[in-house]
């Protein structure tokens, strides 16, 4: 029986991964939350990885703005700890799937980024995640996988879709930026694709390297907010467009986070669905508690 370890199993993506994996009777799943496993502890990581065929690392420092003031701490989790996981996987011949981010890219393009686009992060969070990507490439050249995602939302944990619906109960109008472009991605759909990649990796059908795990198409935060309101039965005209300079943040955000998905063809898998159809599926999902659902 295939043994698979999920780190960061208490987070939004991690919980969806466990849900998808536990529906598979052919897999033995170890779900490690932050309380179960400190991935910055090299010895603990070695012990946890031993005996597993695949590790999917969903553990991360996700507070982008806080990373600007404590870059060393963010990089310890998003970069150095990934090296711990990669080294442990190398020792035991274990495959590693590392979840990364569009923030390793400059975000100044006007056409979708291919998987081999030059990296040039514009903030501390992106720099730390790039350290993690580089560790996977260096230590696991034949069995390491990096899957970049972006604009994640899901049933577990804070996210933009849930925030919009919460604010809808507090304000008549919401001003949302319309000059950042990206690909909203449902965490459950990404979890399914990561598990499919793990299957392909074990079968020898997935070339190692970088994959882009975002939904197809593109929109802005303003477009996503309007779609969210529409699906929730609210008036989308309550959403008003604005610009990023109205909301200065400690960490600069990339203006363009649209990714290409060409490498999935090498695995024989289609890219993730269009962002809007995935959002519709999320609203229809029976999985509780769905924070974007409203009465």
- pLDDT tens digits for range 85-99: 999 999 999 999 999
pLDDT of 295 strictly over 60: no
| Average pLDDT of the residues in 11-27 | 96
291: confidence class by pLDDT, cuts 50, 70, 90:
low
Residue-wise pLDDT for 255-286, tens only, equals 999 999 999 998 899 899 999 999 999 998 87
Q: Which of 103, 125, 153, 256 is catalytic?
A: 125
Q: Single out the residue of 262, 265, 238, 99 nearest to residue 175, CA to CA.
A: 238
The 10s digit of each residue's pLDDT in 169-195 is 999 999 999 999 999 999 999 999 999
How do residues 200-251 score in pLDDT, each as one tens digit? 999 999 999 999 999 999 999 999 999 999 999 999 999 999 999 998 999 9
For residue 125, indicate whether it is catalytic.
yes
36-76 per-position pLDDT tens digit? 999 999 999 999 999 999 999 999 999 999 999 999 999 99
Q: Which of 59, 112, 46 is nearest to 85 (CA)?
A: 46
Burial (CB < 10 A; 0-12, 13-18, 19+), residue 150, is buried
Q: Domains (ranges, CATH) in the chain?
A: 2-158+183-217+258-276 (3.40.50.720)
Cα–Cα separations (whole angstroms), residue 147 to 56, 104, 227: 10, 12, 26
């Amino acid at each position: 029986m295939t043994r698979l370890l999920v780190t960061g199993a208490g987070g939004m993506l991690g919980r969806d991964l466990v849900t998808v994996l536990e529906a598979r009777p052919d897999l033995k799943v170890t779900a490690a939350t932050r309380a179960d496993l400190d991935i910055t502890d090299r010895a603990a990581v070695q012990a946890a990885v031993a005996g597993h065929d695949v590790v999917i690392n969903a553990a991360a420092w996700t507070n982008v703005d806080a990373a600007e003031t404590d870059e060393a701490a963010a990089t310890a989790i998003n970069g150095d700890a990934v090296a711990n996981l990669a080294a442990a996987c190398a020792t035991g011949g274990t495959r590693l799937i590392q979840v990364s981010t569009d923030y390793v890219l400059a975000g100044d393009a006007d056409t979708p980024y291919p998987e081999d686009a030059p990296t040039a992060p514009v903030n501390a969070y992106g720099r730390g995640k790039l350290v993690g990507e580089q560790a996977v490439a260096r230590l696991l050249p034949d069995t390491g996988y990096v899957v970049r995602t972006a604009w994640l939302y899901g049933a577990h944990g804070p996210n933009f879709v849930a925030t919009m619906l919460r604010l809808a109960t507090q304000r008549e109008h919401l001003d949302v930026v319309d000059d950042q472009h990206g690909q909203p991605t449902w965490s459950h759909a990404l979890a399914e694709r990561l598990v499919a990649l793990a299957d392909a990796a074990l079968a020898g059908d997935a070339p190692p390297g970088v994959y882009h795990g975002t939904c197809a198409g593109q929109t802005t935060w303003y477009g996503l907010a309007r779609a969210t309101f529409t699906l929730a039965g609210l008036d989308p005209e309550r959403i008003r467009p604005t610009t990023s300079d109205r909301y200065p943040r400690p960490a600069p955000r990339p203006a363009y986070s649209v990714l290409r998905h060409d490498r999935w063809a090498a695995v024989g898998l289609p890219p993730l669905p269009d962002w809007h159809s995935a959002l519709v599926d999320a609203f229809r999902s029976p999985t509780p508690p769905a924070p974007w659902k409203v009465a």
